[in-house]
Structure formats: structure tokens, C-alpha cells
Amino acid sequence: MATKKKGKKTSKPAKARKKIVTKKPASKKAPSRKPAASAKPAPKASAHNPWKAYAEQLATEMATTLKVMRAYPADQAAFQPHPRSGSAHQLFHTFGIEQEIALKAVKGTLTMPPNFPPPPATLAECISAFEKSAAAVVAAARAAKAEDHARTLPMFTGPGTMGQVPAGAIAGLMLADQIHHRGQLSVYLRMAGGNVPSIYGPSADEPW
């Protein structure tokens, strides 16, 4: 009886299993923190001193006032445009008086009623007195302490009325009055036959 030869079974290669490789997320390294440098303390802001600004403004206005005073004809000291107006000589003296008040306000020595000096004999002497007193106010204001700007002093506050007014306000009033009377003097100057210089801008006699 013929025997059947059993053929060898060839095993088929197993399909390669795909391995799913899961990549682990790369670990983020925390940024290296450098030790903070020791912070330097901020410099202290210098306290505002209103006297400084006042001094610089006065120095500027003083130079302009001197220019107008020096332009006035020296032989017209008695000139007055109206019987109720003061003479040019009196007006020149006013500039010096105001600076005496301002100086005492800055120094804190102002008393009322003020003791005004007599007017100098000539316009030239009035100019010299104003220049010296104004320069003294500028120097005193530059050296004054900020807290003294609010120090109160006696001052006129109305017709026949006295009150306590901050020193800075008194000094500022004297500067404003100087500018006011300088405008008045520029009118005298024109009427007395002098040449009006540039003040805040060009004039007919000093164009830009």
C-alpha cells in the first residue's frame, strides 16, 4: 500500500508587527535664573524750590527794566504826562523801593509800615540803586530755603487793610509791579522824546 509522503509545511513568516513608539515629550528645562543684582536705591529727587525760578525771572526782567531806564532822557526827570501822574523821577524811585520790599520778603524781615529811603538826587543814582537792590534780591532768592516761600509776613491786602501774606506772593507782587511800571515808563519815554527799546518784542525804535 502506497504511503503518501507528508509534505513539509512551510510556515509563512509572521507579519512584522509595527511597534508604535511613543515619543516622550522632551522635558523643558526651566530657564536658569540668575541671581538678581542688588538694586541700587533711586536717587532722591531734589525738592522743588520756587525761589530759584523767581530769582531767574527777576534777573531777566531786571535787565529789561534797566534797558528802559537807561534809555530815558536824563534831563526829563520832572516830566509827568498828567497832573495826577507821578514824575519820571518818582517813577524811577518806585523801582528801587519795590526791590527793598522784595528783599525783606525773601529774608523774612519785612515789617509794616515799611521804612522807605528818600529818592536819590538824580535819575542815574536811581538806576544804580535799583540795579544794586535787584541784584541783592536775586542773590538772596537763590540762597533762600524752599520752606520760607510760604512763610507769612505782614502786607497790605486792601484799602487800609493789613494781613499775613506768604513771602513768595509778596516778592512775586513786587516783580509784577515792576513790569507794570516799566510799561508806564515806556510811555513816558516816548512822550519825553526818547527811543523805546525792545521789551518783549520789537519796538518802532528797535525793530527785529
**pLDDT (tens digit, 9 = 90+) per residue, 89-120?**
999 999 999 999 999 999 999 998 888 889 99
Residue 32 lies in a domain: no
pTM over 0.85: no
Please give the Cα distance from 96 to 33 (Å, whole number).
69
Q: State which amino acid sits at residue 163.
A: G
Contact 151, 82 (CB under 8 A): no
Contact of 93 with 202, CB cutoff 8 Å:
no
* pLDDT, mean of each 10-residue run, the chain (208 residues): 50 52 56 58 70 98 98 97 96 96 97 88 97 97 97 93 96 98 97 96 94
Residues facing 163 on adjacent strands: 155
Residue-level pLDDT at 93: 97
Total of domains in the chain? 1
C-alpha cell at 135: 541784584
Answer yes or no: is 199 within a domain: no
> Do residues 71 and 147 lie in contact, with contact meaning Cβ atoms separated by under 8 Å?
no
Q: Is residue 197 part of a domain?
A: no
Residue 39: what pLDDT?
Answer: 60
Residue 206: inside a domain: no
Q: With contact defined as beta carbons under 8 Å apart, do 110 and 173 qualify?
A: no
Task: Identify whether the C-beta of residue 93 lies closer than 8 Å to the C-beta of residue 127.
Answer: no
CB–CB of 170/110 below 8 Å? yes
Question: What range defines the domain where residue 69 resides?
Answer: 50-191
CATH code of the domain containing 162? 1.20.120.450
Specify whether the CB–CB gap between 155 and 112 falls below 8 A: yes
Please, are residues 58 and 137 in contact by the beta-carbon 8 Å criterion? yes
Indicate whether 165 belongs to any domain: yes
CA atoms within 13 A on the CB side of 45: 3
The verdict on residue 123 lying in a domain is: yes
